[in-house]
Amino acid sequence: MKFESFFIGLLVIVMISTGAMGGMSGMITSDHASGKNSDTMRYQVTFQPPVIECTDSYAQVFVKGANQILMQENLPVLPMFAEIIKLPLGTKITKIQPNDFTVYTVPVPKQIRPADEPVPVKRERISDEKREDALYEEIFCYPENWYASTQGVGIDRGERFLFLTLQIYPVRYLASSNQLQYITTTEFEISYETSLITDTVQGIYDLLVICPDAWKEDVGELKTHKENRGIKTQVVSLTDIINENFFPLQGRDAAEQVKYFIKNALDEWGITYVLLVGGRKPGIPEEWIMPVRYVHIYWANEERYISDLYFADIYDANYNFSSWDTDENDIFGEWKRTSVLKDDMDLYPDVYVGRWACRMKAELEIMIQKTIRYEQGSTSKRVILAGGDNFPQAGIEGEIVCDKTLDFLPGYDAEKIYASEMDVTSKAMKKGLMKGSTFIHLHGHGSPIYWSTHKEGGEEDEWEDGLKFYDLPFFFNSEYPIAIIGGCHTAMFNVSLTVHAWTGGIPAPEGISWWFARKPGGGAIASLGYTCFPVATPGEDGDLDGDGINEADCEESGYGFMQLQLIYAHGIEDEEFLGECWGYAVRNYIDLFKKPASAHHFHTIQGFVLLGDPSLKIGGYGQ
C-alpha cells in the first residue's frame, strides 16, 4: 500500500537526519469513510540545557541538540533546531500541536550578541546604511514562540513532494531582565491528510520550450535533437498560448499567462523542464520578447529585480496556483522598505526553468548549434576556479568556496586562478578554458558587466583584473563550460545601453552572463548568476547549514552555499541535467533559509537564475 511505504520512508528520513538527538513515533488512524486518510505522527526532540559563554562585550548561547542558528539582523543570535520532513505529493498538514513541556529560566551575565547586518555582495559599500543598535528594547521575548513551521510544494529528482520545515527554538531571550527561558524536551503532534492530488500524468512531454511565434520553426531543430536523446519536447509559441491552441487562456498579464500555461503543461503533460526563449527587445523602452516578472523585495537599496523562479514555482503548499501576489494588489513579491512581507510565496520550484535570453534570432541559432554540438560531444573533467579575498573578515572566501567546489567534483582536475597565488585575470581564464572544462566557477564580487576580487587583505578599491564584458569576444575555447559567476548582479539580463543600473555608470549593451553563454565560437553553454544582490556570509557564526560540521560561513550560507549546492547536486548526488542541479540548490537554500523571512535570503533565492537549457546533459552525451 502506498501509504505504508511512504510512512516507512519518512521514518528513515527523520532518523537519519537527526541521529540520536531526535526521534519520532507514529500512530496511524485511517478515516476511509471520508475518502481521505487522516493521520497523526508524533515528533520528539530533546536538548541539553544551554551553555553560556561570555566574550568582553556579549554572551553567547550554545545548546547541544540544536542543529542550526537563528540569526536575524540586530536580534540575538540563538541556537535553533530545524527538521525538514518530506511528505508525498497530496499531503495536507491540518495541525501542528506541541504537547505540554517544562520551561526553565536562567539569568545571563551579559547581553546576548546581536546578529550583524547581512552583507550584500557588492563592489561599493552602501554609504547611507549603517548598523543600528540592537533592537532589544523592542523585544519582550525572542523568539516570540517556541516553534515555527513552513511548508512548500516542489520537485526533488523529478518527483514532487510537500516539504515541511519544523523549527524549534530551545531557548528564548528575555531582553529586559537578561534571562533565558529554555526547554529540554518537546513533542509535537502533526496531523495530516493524504492523497489530495497525485501525479497521475507522467511525462507525455519532458521539455516545454516557449518562444515567440517568429522563432517557433527554428526551435524545431532543437526539438529533433532533444527527441533523438529521449527528451520528449513540445514547442509552444506565445501566440499558441494567447490563441488557446492547447489550454484555455488564464492570467492577468503576459507573465502570468505564461505561468498558467506552464501549470497546465505540468498537470496535463507531466513536464519536467521549461526553456523560456527570449530576452529584452532591442531598443530604448524596456520591452520583452519573452515576459519577465519583477519582484519587489527591498534590500541593499535595491527595490525590484527579475525572478525567473516565478515561472518555476507553480504550486503552493495548499496545492493552489502560487501567484506570488497573495494580497492581489498586482505588485508581485511585495516587501517594501517600510512595509512587511505582503505576499506569501511558496518559492519551491515545481519544474526546472531556464532561459535563453536571446535578443535576436541569430542568438537563438547560436544557442541551438552550441547545444547540439555540446550534447553530441563530451567535455573534459576539469573545472576552472577563480577567487580571492572578497571580504575583510578572516579567510579568503573566494578560494575557500572554490576549493570546496573541487571537493564536490571527485575525479576532476582543477585550474586554480587564485589571488593568493597569481593575478586573477581574464587571460588566465581564457588559457584555462582552452584546455577544456565542464565548469568555470568564479566566486567574488560582481556587477552586471564585471566580476572581480581582491588580494588577501587588499584595499576595497584595489581590484584584480577579473572578467569584464569587453573580454568576452576574445574567448575562443572549443569546449563550452557551464559558467557559475558568483557575485552581485552578474546575471542581470535587463541591461541596455540606456538602462545600466549597478554598472557604476558604465553603459553596456547587455550583462556578462548571458553574453558569455551566447558567445559564438567560444564562451559558455549556460551561465548561472544573480539578477540582484545575493547575500554573502563572511566570518564565523556557527554551523549555519546545520549539517553537523562547522565550516567557514561563506560555504554554509549565502551565495557561496547556493553555488556549491549546484555543484554538489552533480558531483555528489549524480544529477545529470543542469535544471535538476539548479533546482537542488534552490530547494536546499529554501529549506534552510526561507524562515525566518529575511529580504537578503529572498534576494539570493529569487535572483539565482539559469541562463541556459535546463534539460542540458552536463558534460554532453558523448559520441
345, burial (CB in 10 Å: exposed 0-12, middle 13-18, buried 19+) = buried
Task: Give the nearest distance from C-beta 203 to Ca ion in angstroms.
Answer: 19
For the record, the C-alpha cell of 256 comes out as 502570468
Binding segment toward Ca ion, per CB under 5 A, in 36-44, 45-53, 75-83, 383-391? 383-391
24, burial (CB in 10 Å: exposed 0-12, middle 13-18, buried 19+) = buried
Cα distances (Å, whole numbers) of residue 510 to 280, 427, 481, 520: 10, 21, 20, 15
| Residue 499-538 contact track with Ca ion, rule CB under 5 A, x = bound | ----------------------------------------
First-to-last CA distance in the chain? 43
Binding segment toward Ca ion, per CB under 5 A, in 87-95, 289-297, 306-314, 376-384? 306-314
Tell me which of 240, 256, 313, 545 binds Ca ion, using CB under 5 A.
313
Instruction: Count Cα neighbours of 206 within 13 Å in the Cβ-side half-sphere.
Output: 16
| Residue 387-406 contact track with Ca ion, rule CB under 5 A, x = bound | --x-x-x-x-----------
Cα distances (Å, whole numbers) of residue 26 to 3, 7, 23, 42, 325: 13, 9, 10, 5, 37
Tell me the residue type at 428.
A
Establish if 227 lies at the interface with Ca ion (CB under 5 A): no
Binding segment toward Ca ion, per CB under 5 A, in 325-333, 425-433, 473-481, 563-571? 325-333
Tell me which of 39, 256, 334, 479 binds Ca ion, using CB under 5 A.
334
Task: Give the nearest distance from C-beta 20 to Ca ion in angstroms.
Answer: 22
Cα distances (Å, whole numbers) of residue 610 to 349, 491, 517: 13, 9, 11
Q: Which is nearer to Ca ion, 42 or 342 (CB)?
A: 342
Binding segment toward Ca ion, per CB under 5 A, in 70-78, 272-280, 300-308, 319-327? 319-327
Binding segment toward Ca ion, per CB under 5 A, in 194-202, 326-334, 565-573, 610-618? 326-334
Q: Which is nearer to Ca ion, 256 or 350 (CB)?
A: 350
511 contacts: CB under 8 Å, gap ≥ 6: 448, 449, 469, 489, 490, 491, 492, 493, 495
Q: Which is nearer to Ca ion, 310 or 439 (CB)?
A: 310
In angstroms, the CA 426 to CA 444 distance is: 14
Q: Footprint of Ca ion on residues 537-566 (CB under 5 A)? A: 550, 553
DSSP-derived 3-state class of residue 121: coil
Q: Which is nearer to Ca ion, 30 or 550 (CB)?
A: 550
Bridge partners (DSSP) of residue 174 are 141, 179
In angstroms, the CA 97 to CA 188 distance is: 5
Task: Give the nearest distance from C-beta 174 to Ca ion in angstroms.
Answer: 27
Tell me which of 206, 325, 510, 545 binds Ca ion, using CB under 5 A.
325
Pair type for strands 59-62 and 68-70: unpaired
Binding segment toward Ca ion, per CB under 5 A, in 222-230, 382-390, 589-597, 606-614? 382-390
Establish if 318 lies at the interface with Ca ion (CB under 5 A): no
Q: Footprint of Ca ion on residues 135-154 (CB under 5 A)? A: 153-154
Bridge partners (DSSP) of residue 383 are 414, 439
Q: Which is nearer to Ca ion, 302 or 375 (CB)?
A: 302
Q: Which positions touch Ca ion (CB under 5 A)?
A: 153-154, 313, 315, 325, 327, 329, 331, 334, 342-343, 346, 348, 350, 389, 391, 393, 395, 550, 553
